[in-house]
Each structure stands twice: as structure tokens, then as C-alpha cells.
Amino acid sequence: MSDDSEMAPGLETGNDFDVFRDAEGRINVLWLERLRAFLDADRAEDVALVMEPLHASDIGDVLEQLHAGERLALVRSLADKFDFSALTEVDESIRLDIMEALPNADIARGVAELDNDDAVYLLEDLEQEDRDEILSALPTFERLALKRSLDFPEDSAGRRMQTEFIAIPPFWTVGQVIDYLRAEKDLPDEFYQLYVVDAGYTVLGTLPLDKFLRTPRATKIDEIMTTSFVLVKADEDQEEAARSFERYDLVEVGVVDESGRLVGVLTIDDIVDVIHEEADEDIKLLAGVGDEDVSDSTMDTVKSRVPWLVINLFTAVMVSFVIGLFNATIEQMVALAVLMPIVASMGGNAGAQTMTVTVRALSMRELDGRRVRRLIRREMVVGVVNGVIFAVLIGIVTALRYGDLQLGIVIGIAMVINMIVAGTFGILIPLTLDKLKADPAIASAVFVTTVTDVIGFFAFLGIAGLWFGLF
Amino acid sequence: MSDDSEMAPGLETGNDFDVFRDAEGRINVLWLERLRAFLDADRAEDVALVMEPLHASDIGDVLEQLHAGERLALVRSLADKFDFSALTEVDESIRLDIMEALPNADIARGVAELDNDDAVYLLEDLEQEDRDEILSALPTFERLALKRSLDFPEDSAGRRMQTEFIAIPPFWTVGQVIDYLRAEKDLPDEFYQLYVVDAGYTVLGTLPLDKFLRTPRATKIDEIMTTSFVLVKADEDQEEAARSFERYDLVEVGVVDESGRLVGVLTIDDIVDVIHEEADEDIKLLAGVGDEDVSDSTMDTVKSRVPWLVINLFTAVMVSFVIGLFNATIEQMVALAVLMPIVASMGGNAGAQTMTVTVRALSMRELDGRRVRRLIRREMVVGVVNGVIFAVLIGIVTALRYGDLQLGIVIGIAMVINMIVAGTFGILIPLTLDKLKADPAIASAVFVTTVTDVIGFFAFLGIAGLWFGLF
């Protein structure tokens, strides 16, 4: 009764090459070897046979497991049977590799079969020239719908939306709608609600299918439609739309243009991807990696990481100049050089903790008015409390290690100062970036660690210099 | 036509206290002030009037904006009109505060109105004693369903599932099912598919509502049902269930017990929360903050962060002992103390980049067989390339700063070594933790920075000592 065997009926004969996924949900190595053998031997019929039961996302996973050459061989072997929606499930670099290698005519044929939102997803990253050639090979209606979606800004609701939806007039009865649904052949693949519109396609109400199903045939639509519905604007950012979905537990939402006309719908499966991307973006920005996938090439990876490392080199050199100010002090007491990274490292970690909580709260829009003031207060108190705890700990360790109580006191004082600084800047830096309309995730880490490094080294070496009269 | 004004019809009269949310989606300060005034003046009717148009998640946002005392006042003022599902939308600490302050009888009354999954969510974090008292105050059927859900492990599909669903026999016709749905009063609040079961509640097929609606009345259910469906097991981890939703773009999935009986369903709105939590967990574990919210108390925050800082203190002291080995070297050449944090810091950042990409790929199950080997190879090459780039940069800066080409060469060599180490351990450490069935996000950061610090200081000070004959 496992999910995967259910997706591929008949493939439950044991742990051999007929089973697509192993118990841990990974693609079965034997299955993959057999596919490879079929591809090598050009046995197109066998390839089609083993690929046939797979869902688009499974095909995507298979593509990611294959070498670049095998991927193309698979797509070519399947030819007309290749479901292009599988390409929406693979990393961008793989998608572009495959699409660049295929003739535009083949892509046009594949794209014509897709829902509008999947088609846009495949086309938006292509070169203008290729995109135009593919568009011009499509039927007029599809071409116009795709062009309209592509005209909306990147990452907007309009880009992500599906332009197929079911709009009905308010004066129909439930029976009329059911008859219409049964007769009409050109319906969206999947839909979760009906849109009640006037002649100008302004939304008057929505009707979830479950509510619709519970209602007798004779009932008029406008008697049962929901009038307190959510709509998103086509030029709205997809992350804003995602927040509406989460806030109101939506499964589908109508998308309207600037004049309020219903032009498409967003469904939850697109939004799940957006939520994932958004969280992923926060994590990666905090660590200083760009929009990077595991399948990116070595050169792309280097390019994505160098800028962040350059900034870090710059700040590290700056910090080292701060240490350089205390050359003479260190010369007289080498123990300071040995101990100073402890103060900086603790501050850096405490700062990262505060910063991470703040960045996540900002990106989930959890920080308004009162909560900001409360959070600042809390983080400063946490800084003081943790500062005192770790001042005592490191003070004792240091005093014992060097048999020098005064050195323990000095490092303790520096620790308290740096932990309070860490808490304060850990929250103020992302808040300030947010106020300046910058993404708080991107630059907070470098600012925060620079501050805790500078203050950590400066406080420790400075206080030690004064205390022991080393200046 | 904005989403929020649509959710609160009639509140579109301009930017005054009648508008619930401002243009940026935050709760309007004037609106909140008015609510506070009503609460202060004990005007329960007015409180009920302004709260009435709000969705449960909006009520949750209002609760989060209020002070602890005001929250209770609001819940008490609304009394029977308070929708307990709003409590599923607030941070855990706020939820527990409110529930601990309310009499168990009130909670029982509120919980009885909720869907099974929301009720479980509220009850699972309560003290055993309170939970039992609330359960015993519930009607038998609800009590048994809740008890069964609570028996499943925490974070399992069984805990999250909703026990209300629509099961139909395969031999019914579409018409019979529609008549049943219209007649039956006790249906789930929302549903997206029907479950076709045998007499023992084994699932034979599923039927999405849209497909069902397109079919003539006389058609038998078993002719149109989907037989390649996905099911999840009740004791399966909710994150596994979430992956099934993402992989197959599901909106609802059946949950079966160990004997294969359908016992409940999971819907996408629960899964969206799981996806969010999971990404959030990765981010927070990487930064060394526990399961922490912005509304947690100061003491809870300290408690959540101290363990990580203790580990960091321990490794920082260890690193400082490594530096201590080179006491004599530093004494002879203080410039080494000034420069050494640069090598360590660059290694730490490069390691964090590799580690973050690896941790995310692991938690999204993107790393199987071939890709792991490819990723290790790539990260090592990236380490070499970035190592050389930054070795040259820092070598030049150092040579110029100190007028000492040899010192530039030494720091350059140390940099190359540490960058390669960073790439290698940045990937091997999370992979090893994953193999050992530990969460790679939790401990990777501390291991990786310890390694890059130790190797950074050791390589730089060691090579310098050898090069300049300082031992």
C-alpha cells in the first residue's frame, strides 16, 4: 500500500528492476540500469514501456539521475510520448540544456499539450529568439494566452497563473451548470472552484465544487455562491499571492487584471513551489550562495559564490586592520592572540542566531509595530543574560588555563559587551535593510559578523591593553 | 479588489479605523486601537461586531498583536462566538498561554466545533491531565476519533489527518452519489475527492470532484474512478507525506492504518504548514536556534540558544588551543596574529556555502547515487578554483601591506589548503550525519567551522613557522 507502488501499478513484484523506487523513496538502481541498457541499445519500444507508468515528476527525477547525453537520448527516444511537463520538475540548468538541444518545432509540439502555466514556465527562461519561434508555431489561441502571461513581470501572479478556468453566469441553476460541465469537452485538466462572473468577466462570487455538489439542481447559482472571496492581481508578486493562500487556506484563487477582469487562476500546486523557493532563497542568501542548484556546473557554482567571498575577504581584511592596531599589545602578551578568536566567534554565533530569527520573521511578515519593539527588547536582554553566562564560563576557563584571574576578568567583560552587541545588531541590521526595501536575508550575515568581529577583537584587545597597561 | 478588503466586505470606506489591513497587508493601527478601546470599556457587543467579518487566520494575527492580558479579554469577550481554530494560527507560546488561562469546559465546547485535525493540533501540546478532562467532556464519537489521532506518533500523518471524509461503494452511480451528497447533512466542511472503498474500507479508487462533475448520472463509479492513486500510512512522518503531495501535485490524500483501512485524509492546507515548518527548521538549525518563535519569552529564548553557544564555546576554546601551539611563532612575528583570522574566516564562509547547498539538497531528497559523487567532485573543484582566486588576492594584499612577498606566498598557500578543506568537509560532514540518521542541518555548522578554523590557523601558522624558520 505504499504511495509509490500505487503510482506504478503492477510493479510490486519485489526488489528487482521492475520496482521504480526503493523503500526509501529513491529511484531503484536496477530499474535505472535497465533503462540505461535500453537507451544504449536504442530499444525505443522498451524505453516507452518502462517510462509509461511514471508521473511527470518521476520522469523529472529520472532525467536528473541520467548523464547529459542519456537525458537527450531519453527525450528523443520517447519522441511524441515525452511529457514536457516533466521539464518543469527538473533543475533550471538541466531544463535549459535539454531545451537548447531540441529543435524548436519539437518544443512547440510539446508545449502545445501543456497547461498554460507549465508552458510559460518552460518558455520564460529561453532566449527571446527561440521563444518567438516556438510561439509562432503554436495555434493562435494558445499563442495569445501565452504572450499575455509572458507580458506580466517575472515572479508575478500573472506569470504563474493558468488561463483555463470555468466561468458561469449568476442566473444559471446548479442543474444547468452540471449539464454544461458534462457537455463541454474543453475544460481545464483540474479545477477546484467555479467563478461566477458578469458579462465583463468581473467576479461576482466563487463556488467551491464541494458546496456545489451538495446543492439541488433547481437552486440558482447566485443563491449559493460565496461573495466574500479572495482575488489576487495579476501584477502582484507571487510571494504576496502565496501569503494569501496560506492565510486563508486556499486551494485555488482567481487572478484579475488592472480593470478587475478575471484573466486566470492560481492553484495550490504552483503556490507550494513558490513557498519552497522562498524558504530556499532565505537559507541560501543567509549562507551567501546565490540561486544555485546541486546540478549547476562547476563554473556556474564558482560564479555564484565568488561575489560573496570577495565581500567576506574585504571585511576580513578590515577586521585584520583592527587587530593590527593592537600589534604592540599582542607583542607584549601573546596569550591575547590565542584567546581573541573566542570572543569574536561567540559574538558571531549569537549574532547569527538573532539575525536568523529576525530574517525569518520578516519574510513571513510576522513583525508589525508592537512585536518589533518587543523583539528588540527581548534580544538585548537575551544578549545580556547569555553574555553574563558565557563571560563567567570563559572567565573561569581562562583564569585556570593561564593561572591569571585578571585575564579571566578581561575576557569576561569583552564577552558581555560582544554578546550584547551581537543581539542588538543581529536584529537592527535586518530591520534596517527591510526598511530600506533590501532583502534582509542577503546582506545581514556579512554586516553582523563584521560588527561582532570588529567589536569582539577591539573590546578584548582594548580592555586588555588598558587593564594591563600595555599601550 | 484587494484580497483583504474582499475578505471583510463593506470595509472599503477608506484608510480609517474601519479598514482591517493597510496597503502593505499589516493590521491597521487605527482598527486595532478601536478594538483595544472596546475591550477596555467591556463593550462585548462592539467587540463581536468588529471581529465578526474576520477569518480565523486574521483573528490569529489580531491575537498576536495584542498584549497577553488583552488576548484573554478578547477571547472572554467573544465567549461562544470565539472561533477556536484561530488558535491554530498563532505561535505555540501564545496558544498555550490562552488555553491554560481558559477553563477546560470552555475549551471542550470550542474544540467540539472544530475539524478533527484542528482539535488534535490544539490538544496535543496540553498537559495530559487537562487533555483528558477536555476529552471526557466531548461527545463519544468525537472523543474516540480524537483519541485515535492522538495515539499516532507526533508529527505523523495520523496526527495531522482529518477523520471526516466521503467514502462510497464502487457499484453506485454518479446520480446516486450526488443524491447522497445532497441529502447527507454531516459532510466534511471541505473536500476535494471521494474515496471508493469496499466493505472493509480498503481503498479501491479515488475520484476528484472535477472528474466526477463531468460525468453523466447513469455512469457507475468504478468506471470512472482513478485506480492509480496515492495513499499515505498513518504512522508515516508528515514530512514524507508532504513530499508525496509535492511530487504528485496532490490536494488531498487518503490515510490508511497498518491493515490498509482508510482512517482519514490529509489536505493541502495542513501540508503547506508542514512544508513551511520544515524549511524553517533547516534555517533555524543551521543558525543554532531551536524551535523558536518571535513571540517566545526571554527565558525560553535563552534556553533555546545556550546549548548551541556552549558547543561553540567548547570548539572555540579547542581552536584557541591550536593557536596556543604556535605561541612562540606568533611572539616572533606578530603579523601572523593579525592575518590569521582572514584565512579562518574565508574557510568558514566557503564551508558554509557548500554545507548549505548540501543540507538543502539532502532535505529535499535531491541527492541520490550519481549526484552525490558529482557534487563531491564539483565542490572540491570549486574549492580549488576559489582557493586559487583568493590566494592570489590575499597574497597580493598581504605582500603590499607588509612589503613582504614571502608572507604573501605563505598566506596564499594556507588559503588554498583551507578552501579545499572547506569544500570537502562542507559536503562530507552533512552527508555523514545523514548516513548516521542524524539531521544534517543541526550539527553541520559547528563541525564545519571547527574544521575550517583549526585547519585555517594550523595551516597558516604552521607553514609560516616552517617557511620563516620560527620553530
Q: What is the per-residue pLDDT for A6?
A: 41
Cβ distance A340 to A407 under 8 Å? no
Tell me if B338 and A350 make a contact (CB, 8 A cut-off): no
Q: Name the 3-class secondary structure at A21.
A: strand
Torsion, Cα A43 A46 A50 A56, to 10 degrees, reads: 60
| Alpha-carbon span B218 to B216, nearest angstrom | 6
Tell me if A331 and B327 make a contact (CB, 8 A cut-off): no
How far away is chain A from the Cα of B126, in angstroms, using its nearest Cα?
A: 25
Tell me the chain B residues in contact with residue A7 when contact means C-beta distances shorter than 8 Å.
228, 230, 248
Phi, psi of A234 (to 5 degrees): -60, -30
What are the residues whose beta carbons fall under 8 Å from the beta carbon of B178, sequence distance 6 or more? A213, B217
CATH architecture observed for domain B167-287: Roll (3.10)
Q: What is the per-residue pLDDT for A365?
A: 72
Tell me if A7 and B248 make a contact (CB, 8 A cut-off): yes
Beta carbons within 10 angstroms of residue B374's beta carbon: 15
| Alpha-carbon span B422 to B445, nearest angstrom | 11
Beta carbons within 10 angstroms of residue A375's beta carbon: 22
How far away is chain B from the Cα of A96, in angstroms, using its nearest Cα?
A: 18
Beta carbons within 10 angstroms of residue B326's beta carbon: 26
Write the residue in A216, A275, A360 that is nearest to B182 by C-beta.
Answer: A216
Nearest to B18 by CA among B1, B41, B38, B34: B34
Q: Which three cell numbers mark B123?
A: 490538544
Tell me the chain B residues in contact with residue A411 when contact means C-beta distances shorter than 8 Å.
none
Tell me the chain A residues in contact with residue B27 when contact means C-beta distances shorter than 8 Å.
368
Write the residue in B7, B317, B352 that is nearest to A397 by C-beta.
Answer: B317
Most B-contacting residue of A196, A298, A332 (CB-CB within 10 A), to test interface:
A298
With b for 16 or more beta-carbon neighbours within 10 A and e for fewer, the B116-155 pattern comes to bbbbbbbbeebeeeebebbbebbeeebbebbebbbebeee
| Alpha-carbon span B376 to A172, nearest angstrom | 62
Class of domain A3-158: mainly alpha
Tell me if A334 and B330 make a contact (CB, 8 A cut-off): yes
Tell me if A353 and B7 make a contact (CB, 8 A cut-off): no
Tell me if B371 and A182 make a contact (CB, 8 A cut-off): no
Cβ distance A120 to A149 under 8 Å? yes
C-alpha triplet B273, A115, B266: angle, nearest 5° = 25
Tell whether the torsion through CA atoms of A401, A405, A406 and A410 is positive or negative. Answer: positive
| Alpha-carbon span A111 to A117, nearest angstrom | 10
Torsion, Cα B305 B308 B309 B314, to 10 degrees, reads: 160
Tell me the chain A residues in contact with residue B53 when contact means C-beta distances shorter than 8 Å.
228
Phi, psi of B247 (to 5 degrees): -65, -40
Write the residue in B55, B286, B449 that is nearest to A248 by C-beta.
Answer: B55
In chain B, domain spans: 3-155, 167-287, 298-467
Write the residue in B214, B309, B382 that is nearest to A302 by C-beta.
Answer: B382
Cβ distance B268 to B190 under 8 Å? no
Position B159, amino acid = R
Kindly report which listed range (A186-195, A277-286, B294-303, B445-454) carries the lowest average pLDDT score. A277-286
Write a three-state SS string for chain A: CCHHHHHCCCCCCCCCCCCCECCCCCECHHHHHHHHHHHHCCCHHHHHHHHCCCCHHHHHHHHHHCCHHHHHHHHHHHHHHCCHHHHHHCCHHHHHHHHHHCCHHHHHHHHHCCCHHHHHHHHCCCCHHHHHHHHHCCCHHHHHHHHHHHHCCCCEHHHHCECCCCEECCCCEHHHHHHHHHHCCCCCCCCCEEEEECCCCEEEEEEEHHHHHCCCCCCEHHHHCECCCCEEECCCEHHHHHHHHHHHCCCEEEEECCCCEEEEEEEHHHHHHHHHHHHHHHHHHHHCCCCCCCCCCHHHHHHHHHHHHHHHHHHHHHHHHHHHCCHHHHHHCCHHHHHHHHHHHHHHHHHHHHHHHHHHHHHCCCCCHHHHHHHHHHHHHHHHHHHHHHHHHHHHHHHHHHCCHHHHHHHHHHHHHHHHHHHHHHHHHHHHHHHCCCCHHHHHHHHHHHHHHHHHHHHHHHHHHHHCCCC
Q: Which three cell numbers mark B317?
A: 576554546
With b for 16 or more beta-carbon neighbours within 10 A and e for fewer, the B249-278 pattern comes to bbbbbbbbbeeeebbbbbbbbbbbbbbbbb
Most A-contacting residue of B70, B201, B249, B292 (CB-CB within 10 A), to test interface:
B249
Tell me the chain A residues in contact with residue B291 when contact means C-beta distances shorter than 8 Å.
none
Tell me if B397 and A260 make a contact (CB, 8 A cut-off): no
Tell me if B386 and A306 make a contact (CB, 8 A cut-off): yes
Tell me if B294 and A357 make a contact (CB, 8 A cut-off): yes
| Alpha-carbon span A5 to B233, nearest angstrom | 13
Query: What confidence tier does B17 reach under pLDDT thresholds 50, 70, 90?
Result: confident
For chain B, the C-alpha Rg in angstroms (whole number) is: 30
Tell me the chain B residues in contact with residue A272 when contact means C-beta distances shorter than 8 Å.
245-246, 268, 271-272, 275
Q: What is the pLDDT of residues B113-144, one digit of tens each?
A: 888 888 999 999 898 899 999 999 998 988 99
Beta carbons within 10 angstroms of residue A469's beta carbon: 7
Cβ distance B247 to B238 under 8 Å? no
Tell me the chain A residues in contact with residue B416 when contact means C-beta distances shorter than 8 Å.
none
Q: Name the 3-class secondary structure at B116.
A: helix
Nearest to A93 by CA among A135, A64, A123: A64
Q: What is the residue-level pLDDT of chain A in tens, covering all 471 positions?
A: 344 434 443 344 445 777 888 777 778 888 999 999 999 999 999 999 999 989 888 999 899 888 888 999 999 999 889 999 999 988 888 999 999 999 999 999 999 888 888 899 999 988 889 999 999 999 888 899 899 899 999 889 999 999 889 999 999 999 999 999 999 888 888 899 999 999 999 999 999 999 998 999 999 999 999 998 889 999 998 888 888 888 888 899 999 999 999 999 999 988 888 887 877 788 888 888 877 777 788 888 898 889 889 999 999 999 999 999 999 999 999 999 999 999 999 999 999 999 988 888 887 777 766 778 888 888 899 999 999 999 999 999 999 999 999 999 999 999 999 999 999 999 999 999 888 888 888 778 888 989 999 999 999 999 999 999 887
Write the residue in B8, B342, B357 that is nearest to A316 by C-beta.
Answer: B342
How far away is chain B from the Cα of A303, in angstroms, using its nearest Cα?
A: 10
Tell me if A6 and B228 make a contact (CB, 8 A cut-off): yes
Q: Name the 3-class secondary structure at B293.
A: coil
Position B378, amino acid = R
Counting Cα atoms < 13 Å in the Cβ hemisphere of A132 gives 3
Q: What is the pLDDT of residues A248-283, one digit of tens each?
A: 888 999 999 999 999 999 999 888 888 878 777 888
Q: Name the 3-class secondary structure at B230.
A: coil
Write the residue in B8, B182, B212 that is nearest to A215 by C-beta.
Answer: B182
Cβ distance A447 to A421 under 8 Å? no
Q: What is the per-residue pLDDT for A12?
A: 42
Cβ distance B58 to B11 under 8 Å? no
Tell me the chain B residues in contact with residue A26 when contact means C-beta distances shorter than 8 Å.
365, 368-369
Cβ distance B440 to B361 under 8 Å? no
Query: What confidence tier does B294 reach under pLDDT thresholds 50, 70, 90?
Result: confident
Cβ distance A62 to A32 under 8 Å? yes
Instruction: Give me the helix-helix angle, A268-287 and B335-363, nearest 10°.
Output: 170
Nearest residue on chain B to A259, judged by CA atoms? B1
Cβ distance A167 to A262 under 8 Å? yes
Write a three-state SS string for A305-342: HHHHHHHHHHHHHHHHHHHHCCHHHHHHCCHHHHHHHH
Q: What is the per-residue pLDDT for A9?
A: 39
Tell me if A272 and B268 make a contact (CB, 8 A cut-off): yes
Asked if residue B159 has pLDDT above 60, the reply is yes
Tell me if B192 and A210 make a contact (CB, 8 A cut-off): yes
| Alpha-carbon span B5 to B24, nearest angstrom | 12
| Alpha-carbon span A174 to A180, nearest angstrom | 10
Cβ distance A219 to A173 under 8 Å? yes
Q: Which three cell numbers mark B277?
A: 515548518
Tell me if A287 and B353 make a contact (CB, 8 A cut-off): yes
Tell me the chain B residues in contact with residue A162 when contact means C-beta distances shorter than 8 Å.
none
Across the range B40-60, mean pLDDT stands at 92
What are the residues whose beta carbons fall under 8 Å from the beta carbon of B159, sequence distance 6 or more? B120, B124, B149, B150, B152, B153, B238
CATH architecture observed for domain B3-155: Alpha Horseshoe (1.25)
Nearest residue on chain A to B441, judged by CA atoms? A283
Query: What confidence tier does B190 reach under pLDDT thresholds 50, 70, 90?
Result: confident
Indicate the CATH number of A298-467 among 3.60.20.10, 3.40.190.10, 1.10.357.20, 2.60.40.10. 1.10.357.20
| Alpha-carbon span A224 to A8, nearest angstrom | 40
Beta-carbon contacts below 8 Å between A and B: 355
Q: Name the 3-class secondary structure at A167.
A: strand
Across the range B228-237, mean pLDDT stands at 91
Tell me if B209 and A210 make a contact (CB, 8 A cut-off): yes
**CATH superfamily for domain A167-270:** CBS-domain (3.10.580.10)
Q: Which three cell numbers mark A241?
A: 499571492
| Alpha-carbon span A192 to A225, nearest angstrom | 14
Residue B314 region, left (φ>0) first, then alpha (ψ -120 to 50), else beta?
alpha
- ipTM, interface predicted TM-score of the complex: 0.76
Q: What is the per-residue pLDDT for A2?
A: 40
Tell me if A8 and B349 make a contact (CB, 8 A cut-off): no
Most B-contacting residue of A294, A295, A306, A416 (CB-CB within 10 A), to test interface:
A294
Most A-contacting residue of B88, B266, B356 (CB-CB within 10 A), to test interface:
B356
Write the residue in A57, A294, A316 that is nearest to B366 by C-beta.
Answer: A294
How far away is chain A from the Cα of B136, in angstroms, using its nearest Cα?
A: 30
For chain A, the C-alpha Rg in angstroms (whole number) is: 30
With b for 16 or more beta-carbon neighbours within 10 A and e for fewer, the B329-365 pattern comes to bbbbbbbbbbbbbbbbbbbbbbbbbbbbbbbbbbbbb
Asked if residue B10 has pLDDT above 70, the reply is no
